[in-house]
Copies of this chain bind each other. A is one copy, B any other.
Amino acid sequence: MITFLSGGTGTPKLLQGARKVLDDPEISVIVNTGEDIRYQGGHISPDVDTVTYLFAGILNTTTWWGIAGDTFTTHGIIREYLPDAFISIGDLDRAFQIIRADLLEKGLTLTEVTREICRHLGISANIVPMSNDRWTTLVRTAAGDMHFQEYWVRHRGNIPLTAVIHDPIPCPPAAPGALDAIRRAETVIIGPSNPVTSILPILSCSGIREELQGKKVIAVSPFIGDQPVSGPAGQLMEVMGYQADSSGVMKMYEGIVDLFIQDTRDPVHVPGAARYDTLMKTPEIAGNLMRAILSHT
């Protein structure tokens, strides 16, 4: 069993490659839920949705969120009335958000809800949220504290940040299924997701770091030079006091990671790192990267 720690864009690309090399039942994914948000009566779990849709073969891999070929009938009306409706939700996508909210309200845990959706979609990989409890990533700006989705989707990351805040404090326990997925793993792979908003929340859930001790952990850097492969990692790294490059990522993962992987083009030197093409412009390149990673296990 190979277990991934995943956010919503970089790691799913690597998972696309993993599916070329491994069978789905050999794959576990512990997914960040720090960007979960109650929205228009549904419960959006953006990273869980992306990973789930990927394994179901229905992910829109142009945008890396939402469902391929989805329509936006409901959203099209809503945005005429509610100019602050900043998340575009497809009609199929919305169904899963309503189903999640409904099942949570009936008392199921987020792990159980995710399992139920995976079962319906015929997914044989093991997808588990990092925690069954809410742990929300907020950012502090001159306009006040806001949900990360508001910063990233509404403001497109174009406002200065002064801090990253997690709510509530202390962070909740990891979901038992997440700890179990590490326990059963031969290797744990920290994918090239946003270190601050995707990976750090997972690592912060109580129990995760302890469970990672003694495991072989391989991390893939999401940076090439000072440019993150996708998303707003740079500003967030700096706000957290880390250098916005692979060396900062390695520092953040210190004491956890056994092998660090950088892109061949990355000008930053991280001692001991292995280097491969991490840009994953095609599923084939992602498959090659995955094969290279597994050659170290």
Contacts and interface: CB of A to CB of B under 8 A. Distances in A.
Which of A78, A95, A117, A120 is most buried by chain B, counting CB atoms within 10 A of its CB? Answer: A95
A192 B144 CA distance: 53
A80 interface: yes
- The main secondary structure of chain A at its interface with chain B is helix
28 contacts: A40-B98, A40-B101, A40-B102, A41-B41, A41-B98, A41-B101, A71-B71, A71-B91, A73-B73, A73-B91, A73-B95, A74-B74, A74-B98, A75-B95, A76-B95, A77-B96, A77-B99, A78-B95, A78-B98, A80-B120, A81-B95, A81-B99, A81-B103, A81-B120, A82-B99, A82-B102, A82-B103, A94-B94
A116 interface: yes
The 4 residue pairs across chains A and B that have the minimum distance between CB atoms = A41-B41, A77-B95, A73-B91, A74-B95
Interface in A99-119: 99, 101-103, 116-117
Contact of A74 (B76, B81, B92): B92
Interface residues of A, number: 27
A42 interface: yes
Interface string A51-82: 00000000000000000000101111110111
